[in-house]
Amino acid sequence: MKVLVTGGLGFIGSHTVCELLDANYEVVVIDDLSNSSIDVVDKIKEITGKDFVFYQFDVCNEEKLDEVFSKENIDSVIHFAAYKAVGESVAKPLMYYENNLLTTITLCKVMLKHGVFKFVFSSSATVYGSPKTLPIKEDFLLSTTNPYGTTKLMNEKILEDVCVANDNFSVIILRYFNPIGAHSSGLIGENPTGIPNNLMPYIVRVADGELKELSVFGNDYDTPDGTGVRDYIHVVDLAKGHIKALEKAANTKGTRFYNLGTGHGYSVLDLVETFKRVNNVDVPYKIVGRRPGDIAACYADPTKAYEELGWKATLGIEEMCKDSYNFILKQKNK
Ligand code: WQD
């Protein structure tokens, strides 16, 4: 079974490729390296001891994509390739709509041409907007507050319509909560370029001394300690969820949606204090004003993924903090 993984050198993509190879899938990766590094190819091979095929181009290039489908006997697709910075999407909406929608549309066209009908899509809990109640279930109202989130929601609609028009098509849509952590080897992990937007990569840079202190965006939310609560999920747990989704896609038709979260919410200060304790390192911080667009709390009801995919998260917040820091330490001692 040969699986095409778009964006397979990125943070979640690379961890998923490792799980696929460990599960004896053959893997083809397409990545344009716009938000990843070519050295991840060798790191994946070092981690798994297995080889895979890599093509460097933009998934929107229909001609090249068609060539790959003609050359490689692809059975299914896991689609990660997308821009994913919320703030950047507000500043550059057209870049986000063009890239994040055209990749999916091009993929679907070429898949249908080549009779490939199994599709796992990387979506996000951001499609739930600001939920009225918690935990979040898959049938909750969908609403988005930024172009990035809207591209995810629009992609979900596009894929649903492709399934209606093609009854052989099978789509599993995975709505990630907050992926953090890194592979236990420390060889792959989350390493955004520039100043990190997300909490964990910022904490890691402060712990490492590269950044002075963490700004905690608000402590006046209606949460236990006033800081934002999120459902942090280990990237390896998330990657394993894609294997289960692939198995599901192989024996169903139509579109199915699943939350990939732990079902537990942790505050910013919970994460900071856990990180300090398990890594025996300081993380200086200051409380500042809320970040525009942030919601108070968000965490999943992961029941449906457990009942229908046979998947649940197994790694806790301590492993997430340990593995995140271990990755950066390994990177420094390259
Ligand atoms: C988490 C909490 C912040 C940084 C985003 C996207 C989502 C997904 C994950 C792609 C919040 C607080 C953060 C900092 C802070 N990405 N924080 N200081 O916003 O929940 O989700 O990333 O799919 O789609 O929306 O994640 O890590 O940015 O923030 O206090 O320097 O940490 O206010 O409460 P978020 P985050």
Domain boundaries, the chain: 2-181+233-263+300-315
Find the 45 Cα to ligand 1 centroid distance in Å. 31
Catalytic residue among 83, 96, 128, 148: 148
**pLDDT tens-digit profile of 56-77?**
999 999 999 999 999 999 999 9
Per-residue buried b or exposed e for 219-241, using 16+ beta carbons within 10 Å of the residue's own CB: bebebeebbbbbbbbbbbbbbbb
Helix, strand, coil shares of the chain, percent, nearest 5, are 45, 20, 40
Q: Which run of H or of E encompasses 317?
A: helix 317-332
pLDDT of 334 above 60? no
- Report the pLDDT averaged over residues 123-150: 96
- Ligand 1 mutation pick, 89, 268, 298, max ligand atoms within 8 A of CB: 268
- Cβ neighbours for 72, distance < 8 A, ≥ 6 positions apart: 2, 4, 28, 53
Provide mean pLDDT across the span 101-111.
98
Which residue's CA lies nearest to atom 9 of ligand 1? 178
pLDDT surpasses 90 at 192: no
Say which residues have a Cβ less than 8 Å from residue 164's Cβ, sequence separation at least 6. Answer: none
Region 136-140: mean pLDDT is 98
25 is catalytic: no
Q: Which residues line ligand 1 (CB under 6 A)?
A: 84, 86, 124, 126, 176, 178, 197-199, 202, 214-217, 228, 230, 268, 291, 294
Residues 142-151: what's their mean pLDDT?
Answer: 96
Q: What's the CA-to-centroid distance between 6 and ligand 1, angstroms? A: 24
* Residue 177 Cα to ligand 1 middle (Å): 10
Atom 21 of ligand 1, residue of closest alpha carbon? 178
- Tell which one of 174, 225, 230, 285 to mutate to probe ligand 1, the residue whose CB is within 8 A of the most ligand atoms: 230
* Token pair listed for 310: 């046979």
Alpha-carbon gap, residue 177 to 131, rounded angstroms: 13
> How far apart, in whole angstroms, are the C-alpha atoms of residue 91 and residue 178?
22
The answer to whether 298 touches 128, Cβ cutoff 8 Å, is yes
Which of 12-16, 41-45, 306-310, 329-333 is the least confident region?
329-333
Tokens of 318: 């301590």
Q: How do beta strands 266-267 and 229-230 pair?
A: antiparallel
What is the whole-number distance in angstroms between the Cα of residue 295 and the centre of ligand 1?
A: 9
Average pLDDT over residues 174-197: 95
**Across-strand partners of 173?**
121, 257
In the predicted structure, residue 332 carries a pLDDT above the cut 90: no
For residues 151-155, give the mean pLDDT.
98
- First-last CA distance in the chain: 34
pTM above 0.75, yes or no: yes
- The hierarchical CATH code for the domain 2-181+233-263+300-315 is 3.40.50.720
* pLDDT level of residue 191 (50, 70, 90 thresholds): confident
CA 271/CA 280 separation, integer angstroms: 14
Residue nearest to atom 13 of ligand 1 (CA): 199
* Backbone φ and ψ of 239, nearest 5°: -60, -40
d(CA 74, CA 53): 12
